[in-house]
Structure 1
Amino acid sequence: MARQMPKAISLTEAAAARMKEIMAASDGKYIGVRIGVKNGGCAGMEYTMEYAEAANPLDEVVEDRDVRILIDPKAILFLLGTEMDYEEDKFASGFRFNNPNQTDACGCGESVTIVPATA
C-alpha cells in the first residue's frame, strides 16, 4: 500500500474564503492561484502568488477547501507543511504563510529565510 503524501500547502477557512472571493471576481478566467518562492529581500527569499490561467506540466496541484492551488515545482520542498492564512486588521490585510521550514524573517515581513523540508 502506498503512503499518502502530505499536501504541500493547506488553507485556513479565512484564506479559502478570500481565495474564493478573488476567483469569483475573475469571471472564470483563472483556474487557481500559483504559489512559489523566489530569491529576494533582505532575508533571502520571498513568497510569490499569481493567477494561473492553466497548470504547467510540473505544477503540484493542491485542492483544499474547494480552492485550487498550483505549486511551482521549484518551491515544493520549501513549502511542505505550510498553512496559508488570511488576516485583516485595522491597518492591513493579506495572506500569511505559516511555514515550518521558515527559519527567519526580515523586520518588515516582506522576505524570509526558508530551508528545504527534510524527509
Structure 2
Amino acid sequence: MIRSLGRGIRYLSVRWNGTSSSAAAVSKLKASGFSLPQNNPPPPQLTPEQTIQLQTDSADFAITKLVHGVTPKKLAITERAVSKLRLIIETDKDPDSALRIGVESGGCHGFQYNLKLTQVAKELAQDKDNDLYVFKRGPAQVIIDDSSLEILQDSKVDYTKELIGSQFKVVDSPYTSTSCGCGSSFDFDFDKLEEAKLARGSS
C-alpha cells in the first residue's frame, strides 16, 4: 500500500498476513539480489617479452635434470651456460667436465659464490658426506653441495658477457636480498628460505 506523508513524499507499506502468497513474495527478497556490482580489475596483461621469458624460465627448469642425489630442491642451467660448458668439454675432450658451485661466507654482503671447473668423478670420489648433487642439461653438468643448494634453490646457472668479462653466474635467485654490483657477493632472506622449506614439507 502506498501512503502519502505530504509534500509529495510517499512510502511503501508492506504488511505480513502470514499467507502462503505473502511468504513466497518475501522469500524472493534475497541478499544476493542487492549485492553491489563487483569492479574487480582485470588481471595484468603480460607483454610478449614477459611471456617469452616465463616460457624460457619454465623450460630451463624442466630440461635440467637431477642425475645424482635425491632432493626436491631445483636448480636450472640456462642455454648459454650449456653452450659454454659444451665448448669447454669439446676443447678439453673431457665429457666428465663440470661446473662446481658452492656458497661460502665472505665478501662485502656476507656470502659469496665459489665457482670452478672440475670433474664429476673427482668430486663424487671426495664426497665423504654424500651431500653432493649433480644437475645436468644436455652435456652440461653442475655440481652443488646440499647447504649451498639450500640457499640457491630455484636459481639458474647462467653464462654472461659483460664489460668486466665473461663468467658463469648464479642468477634469478628468489631468496637473495642484497648483492654487490658484480654479483659475486650477496646476502639472502632467511625468512623466505624457511617458508620454502615449510612449503616443501607440506606438499
Q: Shorter-normalised TM-score: what interval? A: 0.7 to 0.9
The number of residues matched between the two structures is: 115
* CA distance in 2: counterparts of 1:22 and 1:81, whole angstroms: 25
Stretches of structure 2 lacking an aligned partner (at least 5 in a row): 1-70, 198-203
Could you give the per-residue CA deviations for residues 42-78 of structure 1, whole angstroms, max 9, x where no partner exists?
0011111122332223201111233111112221101
1:21 to 71, 87, 104: 87
Higher relative contact order (CA 8 A, sep 6+): 1
Could you say which structure has the higher helix fraction? Answer: 2
| SS of the residue 2:86 aligns to | helix
Q: Root-mean-square deviation (CA), in Å?
A: 2.3
Task: Find the structure with the greater CA-based Rg.
Answer: 2
Superposed displacement of residue 96, structure 1: 2.5
Cα pair distance change 1:67/1:80, threshold 3 Å: same
TM-score, normalising length from structure 1?
0.80
TM-score, normalising length from structure 2?
0.50
**4+ aligned runs moved over 4 Å, structure 1:** none
Pairing of 1:1-119 with structure 2 (within 5 A): 5-7=72-74, 9-28=75-94, 30-53=96-119, 54=122, 55=124, 56=127, 57-89=130-162, 92-98=165-171, 99-115=173-189, 117=193, 118-119=196-197
Matching residue's letter, 1:112: F
My pick for the range that moved more, 36-45 or 60-69, is: 60-69
Could you say which structure has the higher strand fraction? Answer: 1
My pick for the range that moved more, 37-46 or 25-34, is: 25-34
Instruction: Give the % identical residues.
Output: 24
